[in-house]
């Protein structure tokens, strides 16, 4: 049994969420606002990203990935817009949108499991099925 449990933990991807400094938080908010304005003006995702410069390459990558997740959450989950329509309107591939959505769902699941574990401790399976 223990072997299966260890295997299961190995299969779960590790995520670490960056803790932003005050300055990084400001950069993040400014960028998301600029990206939203560009998308609202009819620009594609790549054009929106190009409309606002972010000097720190790692921070830029995080913000851009988060922004796509925000758009997927708002358009697909909140407004029930089909993923192919989201991809088309943003000028990106359906594969990028679906892969990003899968990553989002993994992150949510792992975060929920971690929070559950912190709140209630580890749950031990005791089934004889």
- If you write DSSP's letter for every residue of 43-83 in order, what string do you get? --HHHHHHTS--S-HHHHHHHHHHHHHHHHIIIIIIT---H
The residues, ordered by sequence, that sit 6+ positions from 64 with a Cβ below 8 Å of its Cβ are 49
- Answer yes or no: is 126 within a domain: no
- Answer yes or no: is 7 within a domain: no
Please count the structural domains in the chain.
Answer: 1
- Answer yes or no: is 81 within a domain: yes
- Answer yes or no: is 30 within a domain: yes
Give residue 5's pLDDT.
Answer: 42
Give residue 79's pLDDT.
Answer: 97
Give residue 128's pLDDT.
Answer: 57
pLDDT band at 114; cut points 50, 70, 90: confident
- Answer yes or no: is 125 within a domain: no
Residue 44 CB neighbours (<10 A): 15
- Answer yes or no: is 10 within a domain: no
- Answer yes or no: is 2 within a domain: no
Give residue 124's pLDDT.
Answer: 60
The tokens describing 56, both together, are 């720190």
**Does pLDDT of 77 surpass 90?**
yes
Q: What is the DSSP letter of 21?
A: P
Mean predicted confidence (pLDDT) in 92-102: 97
- Answer yes or no: is 3 within a domain: no
Instruction: Give pTM, 2 decimals.
Output: 0.77
Q: What is the DSSP letter of 41?
A: T
Range of the domain at 116: 21-120
């Amino acid at each position: 049994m223990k072997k299966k449990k260890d295997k299961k933990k190995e299969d779960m991807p590790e995520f670490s969420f960056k803790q932003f400094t005050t300055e990084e938080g400001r950069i993040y908010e400014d960028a998301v606002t600029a990206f939203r304005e560009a998308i609202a003006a009819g620009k594609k995702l790549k054009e929106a990203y190009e409309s606002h410069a972010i000097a720190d390459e790692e921070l830029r990558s995080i913000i851009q990935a988060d922004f796509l997740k925000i758009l997927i959450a708002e358009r697909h989950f909140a407004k029930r817009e089909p993923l192919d329509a989201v991809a088309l309107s943003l000028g990106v591939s359906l594969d990028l949108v679906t892969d990003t959505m899968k990553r989002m769902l993994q992150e949510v699941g792992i975060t929920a499991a971690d929070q559950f574990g912190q709140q209630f401790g580890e749950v031990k399976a005791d089934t004889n099925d």
